[in-house]
Chains A and B, each alone.
Chain A
Amino acid sequence: MKSLWKKYKQNKLVQGILLLIYISITSLSLFMAQKSVTAFLLLLSSLLLLYFTNFKNLTKWLIAGIVLVFLLPFTASNGDAYQSYMEVATLVGIYISMALGLNIVVGMAGLLDLGFIAFFAVGAYTYGIFATVQASNFMPFGTFPLSGESFWLFILIGCFVAALFGILLGIPVLRVKGDYLAIVTLGFGEIIRIIFNNLDRPVNITNGAMGIPSVTPPRLFGIDFLYPSQFYYIVLVILLFTIFTVRRFEHSKIGRSWKAVRENEIAAQAMGVPLVRTKLMAFAIGASFSGMMGVVFAAKQAFVDPTSFTLLESITILVMVILGGMGSVPGVILGAAVMTILNLQVLTEVTSWLNQLNSTGAFSIPDALSPSKMQRLIFGLLLILFALYRPKGLLPAKNHVYNEKELQEGSAKENKGKQEVMPDHSQIEKAQEV
């Protein structure tokens, strides 16, 4: 058995064939079935299978692209539940982006932020206010709502406004140390929500607890984006951008300085890493992902109100990061996907199944225990169990593995070049530059 597994791990061809069979079966069953959440989820999990293959990164991305861009929407489009699948997929994308943003702050820079949803709110309100008549209450010029074409610009604006908020909140907050930071960010998150909740007077900016209805849908080439199946593609593009950005930062000077600050602030400073700047950058970049997705969220729901931005939401995103593995990009993607699906599909499915049982009288369960109400319990349990038994999450963060041979050669080449050009005395000068 073990040797078989070993062989599988080494053999790309077998992996490829098995993956292909898996994808074909699941997509076919999704295509045939009128409504099968199982098939939908199984097809999604082919991506996890793909992650564990030995293919080159480029190949993996290509396959993932084909599955996400063509296969999933196409095979799902046959059934009645098409839009609800796409709704789930869209939300999964939104949450992954946010979790990746929080992962920068918590996982990489080691700053526990319990008010992260605030940046999502900022993005959502930015679009919500200007894409409705709301803006005309306080803007001295311009006609509102802005047209659906402006949505694309607002993705960028949402990104910058959220980053700006990240910096503005960060400047005072980051002077606070360790555990206090958690409390202060929590406080800030609540402050922002309370302000949005009450900013209907003296000037009506956010329409208070009533929320902002009928947000203008995005428009491109004369087509209005109204359905989840359309938003799915917007989210997919932003998500890809997010993943690439995170990957870039992770293995750069910036990513290293985040981790250095997390590991040891004093040593990081002594090595020339500016503490405040580094932390602010983590805050701003993390926030910007949320801001972008906030804009999308506002457009998708066509409605913004403060209840979408509670502490529970902040904690949900935190659970995603912890579950997947702090600092681990693939882990956080997995964590966010699992949590969103659990939240939206599994809990509701189990609830309706239980209700069915209830109505047939086969089994009875009180309403208080209905699974869809048990989010807090489940999140709480997950947080505790993972912190105690698997603090590094489902897919723990791994350090970049450097190619020893390549570096050896590079080093040898440089040494050789030096010896040929430099006479022995000035070698000291040269070595100084190393």
Chain B
Amino acid sequence: MLNEILQTIPQVVIDGLTLGAVYAVIALGYTMVYGILELINFAHGEIFMSGAFIGTAILIVLTGMGWVSAVPAIVMLITVLLLTAILTGLLGMGIERVAYRPLRNAPRLIPLITAIGISFLLQDIVRFIAELQKGNYIVTGPNLFKDQLSIKASSISSIFNDASIKTSFVIVLVTAVIMMIGLDLFINRTKWGMAMRAVAQDRETASLMTVNVNKVISITFFIGSALGGATGVLFAVQYGTIDPYIGFILGLKAFTAAVLGGIGNIRGAMLGGLLLGLLEMFASANLTLLSGGVFGAEYKDVFAFAILIIVLLFKPEGLLGKPVTEKV
């Protein structure tokens, strides 16, 4: 059995890292907003989904104009990523302005409820735009990177099987890593990053120190959503087919990743994302084998939720977070 598991490891690692990178970047959005507002931005998964659709729409339009074949795919991708990031960033800012800001002093339950509302609203709006335009809400975008690569893992050691990857995998991973490094630099090296950290620490004191709290919160939402939307594009590029409901489960898992790493902690979110991606891919590849056929890959979602619940129960502060005690 061990041999069989080992054989699949290269493929599991590659798929796990791809998925994990997607989780990680979305988890960043959750973690940033939570760090600053202590709010679970339920709609973040839907922003990711909107990003996937916006990106695909731009690609389709550009293909129609004949641009895609004219410019190198990588230039195309960067253009689409930037455009989508700006649009979803604005979307996120708008959501904060309309649905969260008026409720900042309301009971904790209320903003959660608007968040769910926004989430449903976005799903449906995207659905009927897609349906109006394409006649079907399941959309397949143009394929930017068609090449398949094969990694000869068997040449390293005969235990492993060869793994195959799409070129897009490399693109997804590299872009995700660049986004994460960029964010890390932004948070730790810039004036606005410092203001964000200050607001996260103590909103009132920060405002006394002439930090414009509302602006900082808007920027947080912009960046988180821009990253989420850009990841949506990466997802669409990597997996091809998208529908308006991909944001929900994926968002939930990204949230799991954020919790796993320690919510409010940027590096924790990255770690949590990659870890969850690897664990999930491992589970979906080997669950059948490990349980003697009782559980199959269809339980991989259960597996992710189980991780969430276990972490929350036994280590609610996550891997890299700090424990908090309520002041009485």
A–B direct touch, CB within 8 Å, in complex?
Answer: yes
Q: What residues of chain A have their CB less than 8 Å away from a CB belonging to chain B? A: 106, 110, 112, 114, 172-173, 175-180, 182-184, 186-188, 190-191, 194-195, 197-198, 201-202, 266, 311, 315, 318, 322, 326, 366-369, 373-377, 379-384, 387-388, 391
Name the B residues within 8 Å of A186 (CB-CB): 252
Closest B residue by C-beta to A381 = B121
Name the B residues within 8 Å of A266 (CB-CB): 326, 328
B197 sits at the interface (CB 8 A): no
Taking a contact as CB atoms under 8 Å apart, the answer to whether B306 and A191 are in contact is yes
Please name 12 further chain A to chain B contacts, defined as beta carbons within 8 Å, in addition to the given A176-B316, A380-B116, sorted by A numbering. A180-B40, A180-B259, A190-B252, A195-B302, A326-B109, A366-B131, A369-B132, A376-B127, A380-B122, A384-B114, A384-B118, A387-B111
Number of interface residues of B (CB under 8 A): 49
Separation in Å of the A181 CB from the closest CB of chain B?
9
Give bound CA distance, A374 to B271, whole Å.
Answer: 38
Name the B residues within 8 Å of A388 (CB-CB): 99, 102-103, 114
A-B contacts, 12 of them at CB < 8 A, read: A176-B312, A180-B40, A188-B309, A190-B252, A190-B305, A266-B326, A315-B116, A380-B117, A380-B121, A380-B124, A381-B121, A387-B103
Stretch at the interface among B49-57, B230-238, B290-298: B290-298
Name the B residues within 8 Å of A195 (CB-CB): 302
Name the B residues within 8 Å of A326 (CB-CB): 109
Taking a contact as CB atoms under 8 Å apart, the answer to whether A187 and B308 are in contact is yes
Taking a contact as CB atoms under 8 Å apart, the answer to whether A377 and B125 are in contact is yes
B39 sits at the interface (CB 8 A): yes
Do A383 and B117 form a contact, CB below 8 Å, given A180-B312, A190-B305?
yes
Give bound CA distance, A177 to B118, whole Å.
Answer: 23
Taking a contact as CB atoms under 8 Å apart, the answer to whether A384 and B298 are in contact is no
Q: B117 is contacted by which of A198, A373, A384, A391 (Cβ under 8 Å)?
A: A384
Name the B residues within 8 Å of A191 (CB-CB): 301-302, 305-306
Name the B residues within 8 Å of A178 (CB-CB): 108
Contact residues, B95-110 vs A (CB, 8 A): 99, 102-103, 106-110
Q: A179 is contacted by which of B103, B108, B117, B252 (Cβ under 8 Å)?
A: B108
Name the A residues within 8 Å of B120 (CB-CB): 315, 376-377, 379-380, 383
Taking a contact as CB atoms under 8 Å apart, the answer to whether A387 and B110 are in contact is yes
Taking a contact as CB atoms under 8 Å apart, the answer to whether B252 and A183 are in contact is yes
Q: B302 is contacted by which of A112, A194, A368, A380 (Cβ under 8 Å)?
A: A194
Q: Is the interface of A mostly helix, strand, loop or mixed?
A: helix
Name the B residues within 8 Å of A201 (CB-CB): 294
Name the B residues within 8 Å of A377 (CB-CB): 120-121, 124-125, 128
Give bound CA distance, A375 to B117, whole Å.
Answer: 12
Q: Mark B169-199, 1 if CB is under 8 A from A, else 0.
A: 0000000000000000000000000000000
Name the B residues within 8 Å of A106 (CB-CB): 109
Name the B residues within 8 Å of A373 (CB-CB): 127-128
Q: B113 is contacted by which of A172, A175, A188, A383 (Cβ under 8 Å)?
A: A383
Closest B residue by C-beta to A202 = B294
Taking a contact as CB atoms under 8 Å apart, the answer to whether B132 and A366 are in contact is yes
Separation in Å of the B145 CB from the closest CB of chain A?
31
Closest B residue by C-beta to A379 = B120
Give bound CA distance, A366 to B129, whole Å.
Answer: 11
Do A183 and B113 form a contact, CB below 8 Å, given A191-B305, A391-B106?
no
Closest B residue by C-beta to A106 = B109
Give bound CA distance, A201 to B106, whole Å.
Answer: 47
B88 sits at the interface (CB 8 A): no
Give bound CA distance, A53 to B108, whole Å.
Answer: 35
Taking a contact as CB atoms under 8 Å apart, the answer to whether A391 and B110 are in contact is yes
Taking a contact as CB atoms under 8 Å apart, the answer to whether A387 and B117 are in contact is yes
Closest A residue by C-beta to B326 = A266
The 10 nearest A-B residue pairs measured at CB:
A383-B117, A380-B120, A368-B131, A380-B121, A187-B305, A377-B124, A384-B117, A376-B124, A376-B120, A368-B128
Name the B residues within 8 Å of A182 (CB-CB): 40, 112
Taking a contact as CB atoms under 8 Å apart, the answer to whether A387 and B305 are in contact is no
Do A179 and B112 form a contact, CB below 8 Å, given A172-B313, A194-B302, A368-B128?
yes
Separation in Å of the B135 CB from the closest CB of chain A?
8
Contact residues, B250-284 vs A (CB, 8 A): 252, 255, 259
Give bound CA distance, A175 to B306, whole Å.
Answer: 15
Name the B residues within 8 Å of A368 (CB-CB): 127-128, 131-132
Name the B residues within 8 Å of A315 (CB-CB): 116, 120
Closest A residue by C-beta to B263 = A180
Do A179 and B40 form a contact, CB below 8 Å, given A376-B121, A383-B113?
yes
Do A183 and B255 form a contact, CB below 8 Å, given A366-B132, A384-B114, A387-B117?
yes
Closest A residue by C-beta to B40 = A179
Name the B residues within 8 Å of A179 (CB-CB): 38-40, 108, 112
Give bound CA distance, A173 to B114, whole Å.
Answer: 23
Interface centre among B106, B112, B114, B120 (most CB of A within 10 A): B120
Separation in Å of the B26 CB from the closest CB of chain A?
14
Taking a contact as CB atoms under 8 Å apart, the answer to whether B113 and A387 are in contact is yes
Give bound CA distance, A374 to B131, whole Å.
Answer: 12
Q: Mark B216-259, 1 if CB is under 8 A from A, else 0.
A: 00000000000000000000000000000000100010010001
Give bound CA distance, A165 to B131, whole Å.
Answer: 40
Taking a contact as CB atoms under 8 Å apart, the answer to whether A381 and B117 are in contact is yes
Separation in Å of the B29 CB from the closest CB of chain A?
15
Do A187 and B117 form a contact, CB below 8 Å, given A387-B103, A391-B110?
no
Q: A384 is contacted by which of B99, B255, B302 (Cβ under 8 Å)?
A: B99
